[in-house]
Structure 1
Amino acid sequence: MPIIQVSTTLARSQIPVPFVRQTAQLLCKLFDKPMKSITVSINCDQLMFSGSDPDQQQPNKPIAVSTVRNIGQMTADSNRRATRELTKLFREQLAIGESEIKFVFIELSAENLGLNGQLKSDL
């Protein structure tokens, strides 16, 4: 049940139409899950600060911070692979510099995910 929430300074108009689907397909591959279990959310036009440019010399510099949640399969190796492959996708599709792409990985338990009006652990 991978869920990715992407917050970015990019405007909605700067997000290519195929990006959401490509992200979902990549999550399917990375976590070996079917497409029906993937959720992708893009929060555009976010006000963000990056420590890599503390003086705001580049005030319109694109930034993306993403939270990836999943039930199980959150190991250091899987997170390394996901970071590498998602960074490549973001760089290619969103033109965001590698130093401005960050990921937070959170492993969920089935008791902490609601779905179809009940907890995943109850399904």
Structure 2
Amino acid sequence: MPTFNVFVSISRDEIPADFVLEASKFIAGLLGKPEQYVTVRVVPDQLMCHGGSNDPCGSVQLMSIGALGDKNKSHASKIGDFLESKLGIKKDRFYITFFDIARNDCGYNGTTFA
């Protein structure tokens, strides 16, 4: 159930057309999860600033059942590289918040993963 939410100040037309599909494959590989369970959400055109500047910035959330915790430092490095290369937003211009979700706290297909 990995969910990758990317909120960015850049406009929709600055986001590559294939970004969500590339991000889906990237997150599946990063977490070792089947891509069929990955959701990617990109929210462009956000009114935001970071560090007192309105240069391109973002806010990122990664939710998953497992595959987080001790690996977050490595995940943060790889996510930072991915977003900087694909969206042109520098790694020091967004925070990444990780959420390790319990199986019983995630609903899917009329039930939960518990």
Q: Secondary structure at the match of 1:67?
A: strand
Measured on the aligned residues, the alpha-carbon RMSD in Å equals 1.2
1:71 aligned residue (65, 78, 94)? 65
**Alignment TM-score, normalising by the size of structure 2:** 0.92
Q: Which residue identity is paired with 1:19?
A: F
Q: Deviations over 1:33-91 (max 9, x none)?
A: 111011100011111121x2x2x4xx3x1111111000012122x21121111111111
Q: Which runs of 4+ in 1 moved over 3 A?
A: none
Maintained 8 Å contact 2:10/2:57: yes
**TM alignment of 1:95-110, pairs within 5 A:** 95-110=88-103
Post-superposition offset of 1:22: 1.5
Aligned to 2:56: 62
Unaligned runs of 5+ in 2: none
Match of 2:85 in 1: 92
What pairs up with 1:1-123 in 2 under 5 angstroms?
A: 1-50=1-50, 52=51, 54=52, 56=53, 59=54, 61-76=55-70, 78-121=71-114
User: For the pair shown, which has the larger CA radius of gyration, 1 or 2?
Assistant: 1
Unaligned regions of 5+ residues in structure 1, if any? none
